[in-house]
Amino acid sequence: MAQIEGIRIENYRALRDVTLGKTVDQDFDPLGRLAAIIGPNGCGKSTLMDAFGFLGECLTVGVEEACEEQHRGGFQRLHTRGQIGPIQFEIYYREEPKARPISYSLHIDLDTAVRPHVTYERLRQRRKGQTSGQPYSFLELTNGHGFVWAGESTVKEEGTKRDTVELEDTRKLGITTLGNLSDHPRIVAFRQFLEGWYLSYFIPDVARGLPMAGAQKHLNRTGSNLANYVQFMERQEPKRFQGILDRIAKKIPGVQKISTKQADDGRLLIQFDDRGYKDPFFAQDMSDGTLKLFAYLLLLEDPDPAPLIGIEEPENGLHHKLLEPLADEMKRYAQQGKGSQIVVTTHAPNFVDALRPEDVWILEKDESGFSNATRASKLPQVKELYGEGIPLGSLWYSNHFGRGNP
């Protein structure tokens, strides 16, 4: 499963220049398979998560439409105030743990008609055996014009050829067009990686709906198909899935069993057998926290997982004693070394208690109002006290971080 080792964001709202992990030009420790972003209100956590969503939407609908989404309000509102230059992203990732890293750069600015478009786009990777120097560009476009190498390898390796590219619409990404052509397998792989990101916007009231029966392979972003997703997993491997539900049920207070039931009118119900009650409860009767915890834990069991899962403030609606078990499950999942990479924002010390300093990033604003990111493992006092057995969230709550107060 592909994994982001680093991401750099420039001129995106309060994120004037923020780097998490390793990039081509900054040799920091790479991101792990679990990254928790903490910090006070207004420090840029939601903006960071929105940046991940923005990248995905640039791929699927184009940069102008992505900028014009209602909650973004257009390029001028997205662009960092007072700064010159385009909005920039760099993603540094590996398709597999031992594969050569690939870097993707994207620059977005206004054209002469004052419409957002792609001014620069590049995919690059070191040649086989190359250990130093700049990576080799196999796609590079400036204002829609440039080149791409066709085939798996570079011209110096297996004689592949360089093609000229001229895009008619610079509001669309080059990887959107070229990533659909079999001549460009590395671009196809990156496009599939990017479009596979899953950002959760789980809404309990929506998840309580009664969909028509019909298995669906993945949980959607709002959770409206939760019952259909349960039905799909139940049909795939019934015995294994019942074991999953039994394990999840043990983590939800009072719940003994979880199953699905089809109503007479064809609608699908999720039922929860609760201790002390003869008749089961249905999802429509369960609390927001119970549904959220159930959905998050079930999401980690997806047999065909998204390469990246983003969750914003999972603690909302959850009892504080459920946060550490949820974080433990995410950490256990991440430590498997396969499946989704998880990026989560949180205000909850109880959640952070289950994590390691290298899992946690602290966002804070400087005197100019721009966000800065610091890895908790880079704070000597945090590393020392954590090594003495003090949980990380407790250190954060007690202000030993010296920043990012909850």
Residue range 73-116, pLDDT digits in tens = 999 999 999 999 999 999 999 998 888 899 999 999 999 999 99
Find the helix or strand (DSSP H, E) in which 142 lies.
Answer: strand 136-142
Burial annotation 330-352 (CB, 10 A radius, 16+ → b, else e):
bbebbeeeebbbbbbbbbbbbbb
Mean pLDDT of 199-218: 88
Determine the pLDDT at residue 405: 61
Q: How confident is the model at residue 375 (pLDDT cuts 50, 70, 90)?
A: very high
Banded pLDDT at 338 (limits 50, 70, 90): confident
- Claim to verify: residue 209 and residue 138 sit in the same structural domain: no
> Do 223 and 351 reside in the same domain of the chain?
no
Asked which of 305, 337, 369 is the last residue of a domain, the reply is: 305
151 and 191 belong to one structural domain: yes
Same domain as 48, residue 104: yes
Provide the percentage of residues in the chain whose pLDDT is more than 90: 55
- Boundary residue ending a domain (241, 276, 305): 305
Point out the least confidently predicted range of 45-54, 81-90, 204-213. 204-213
Residue 406 predicted with pLDDT over 60? no
Question: Which of 84, 134, 86 lies closest to 109 in space, CA to CA?
Answer: 86
Residue 404 predicted with pLDDT over 60: no
Q: Does one domain contain both 28 and 89?
A: yes
- All residues at 6 or more sequence positions from 100 whose CB lies less than 8 Å from its CB, including other chains: 94, 125, 126, 128
What per-residue confidence (pLDDT) applies to 160? 61
For residue 157, is pLDDT > 70? no
Residues 299 and 311 in one domain: no
Per the listing, tokens 């743990």 go with 97
Percent of the chain topping pLDDT 70? 95
The answer to whether residues 228 and 332 belong to one domain is no
Question: Are 158 and 44 contained in the same domain?
Answer: yes
Residue 155 has pLDDT above 50, yes or no: no
Q: Structural domain tally of the chain?
A: 2
Determine the 3-state secondary structure of 36 from DSSP: strand
| 218 lies in the same domain as 176 | no
- Regarding whether 391 and 374 lie in a shared domain, the answer is yes
Q: Which secondary-structure segment (H or E) carries 66? A: helix 63-67
Asked whether 18 and 372 are in contact (CB, 8 A), the reply is: yes
Q: Are 168 and 198 in contact (CB under 8 A)?
A: no
Residue 70 to residues 23, 100, 260: CA-CA distances in angstroms?
31, 38, 36
What does the mean pLDDT of the chain come to?
88
pLDDT at 159: 42
C-alpha closest to that of 186 among 131, 309, 104: 104
- E strand or H helix at 229: helix 226-236
Q: What is the pLDDT of residue 310?
A: 96
In angstroms, the CA 366 to CA 287 distance is 39
Tens digits of per-residue pLDDT, 230-284? 888 888 878 877 777 777 777 777 787 787 788 888 788 888 888 778 888 888 8
Q: Residue 289's domain spans which residues?
A: 202-305
Domain co-membership, 4 together with 133: yes
CA distances from 387 to 383, 390, 396, 406 (A): 6, 7, 15, 22
Query: What residues have CB less than 8 Å from 390, skipping those under 6 apart?
Result: none
- Residues 41 and 133 both lie in one domain: yes
- What CATH code is carried by the domain that includes residue 78? 3.40.50.300
DSSP per-residue letters across 72-116: T--HHHHBPTT--S-EEEEEEEESSTTSPPEEEEEEEEE-TTS-E
Domain boundary among 305, 320, 354: 305
120-136 pLDDT, tens digit per residue, is 999 998 777 666 667 88
Q: What pLDDT is stored for residue 130 in this prediction?
A: 63
How do residues 288-337 score in pLDDT, each as one tens digit?
A: 888 888 899 889 888 889 999 999 999 998 888 889 889 999 988 888 87
